[in-house]
Amino acid sequence: MEFQTKIGKSEPDKIFVHGYNLTEDLIGNITLADMAFLGAKHRKPTEKESKMLNALLVAICEHGFTPSSISTRLTYLGAPESVQSAVAAGLLGAGTVYLGAMEYVAEMLHHAFEKYGEGYPIEELASLIIQERKENNQQLPGFGHPIHKPEDPRTGKLFEIAEDLGFYGKNSKLLVEIHRQFCEQKGKTITLNAVGAIGAIMADMEIDYRVVKSFAVASRAVGLVAHIVEEIELGRKNSVGQEIFDYIEHHTDYKGKVETQKS
């Protein structure tokens, strides 16, 4: 049995990663985010691709206090010896509810072009997708935001960069058109959120929709570093994890029975 991989190979004085000599071609020449691109596309990104990808991952890296980052802090409180556990616990909360939409957008756009072909006029394609979703009782992903209304400030910025760098393609255009028609039908402006924009731009960068979520997860791992740092700097006693725990402990209302019920 031989386990095959295209990822890497180590010799005593050389290391190859994704076909490149690590010390000659990669270290000092590419950014951390490009390593994920290399993994997904098996080639180094162009300068424009690298710029776009870093912009996208910077945009979703940090979200303040979320269930995910709070779990990181609480886990660090319980296991400060093991920062990898704190990061891992944070990632585990980044499931369908918080990171799903990015993948769903990329998937929706992928299947739209796969099913209806490239040549279809974008207005009709958008209309078909909306109709299909309605019929199947499926939500349109990428729309709505609890805070950023009526616009998500990141969305405009990311599409602007995408246009500058040549990544505002058919997928982004289709999502924007779906958004336009959807708002028209609803009679009000619903936010086209950053996660939606990122899903579309990644599709325009020809990143496989099945990989999109992994990029998001990697980005969140980077973002969680700041939360661990803040806990370290605050010190155990004053850490946010400790304060959250204290608050909950002192604001718990026990609703269960309390009589002894001998069996």
Restricted to residues 15-74, the positions that interact with a second copy (CB under 8 A) are 15-36, 38-40, 42, 44, 51, 54-55, 57-59, 61-68, 70-71, 74
Smallest separation (angstroms) from a second copy to the CB of 123: 29
Which two tokens mark 262?
């001998």
Interface pattern 167-186 for a second copy (x via CB under 8 A): --------------------
Instruction: State the Cα–Cα distance between residues 195 and 104, nearest whole angstrom.
Output: 10
Binder of a second copy out of 89, 106, 125, 174 (CB under 8 A) = 89
Residue with tokens 């490239």: 118
229 binds a second copy per the rule CB under 8 A? yes
Which DSSP symbol is given to 23?
I
Interface pattern 184-223 for a second copy (x via CB under 8 A): ------------------------x-xx-xxx-xxx-xxx
163 binds a second copy per the rule CB under 8 A? no
Instruction: State the Cα–Cα distance between residues 10 and 168, nearest whole angstrom.
Output: 39
From 141, 113, 125, 258, select the one nearest 199 (Cα to Cα).
141
Interface pattern 105-144 for a second copy (x via CB under 8 A): ----------------------------------------
Smallest separation (angstroms) from a second copy to the CB of 184: 22
* Residue 109 · residue 199 · CB < 8 Å: yes
Stretch that binds a second copy, among 114-122, 134-142, 170-178, 235-243 (CB under 8 A): 235-243
Smallest separation (angstroms) from a second copy to the CB of 180: 20
What sign for the dihedral angle of Cα 217, 221, 226, 228? positive
Which DSSP symbol is given to 141?
T
Cis amide prior to 80 (ω within 30 degrees) = no
Smallest separation (angstroms) from a second copy to the CB of 91: 5
Please give the C-alpha separations between residue 135 and each of 15, 105, 130, 140, in angstroms, as whole numbers.
53, 18, 9, 12
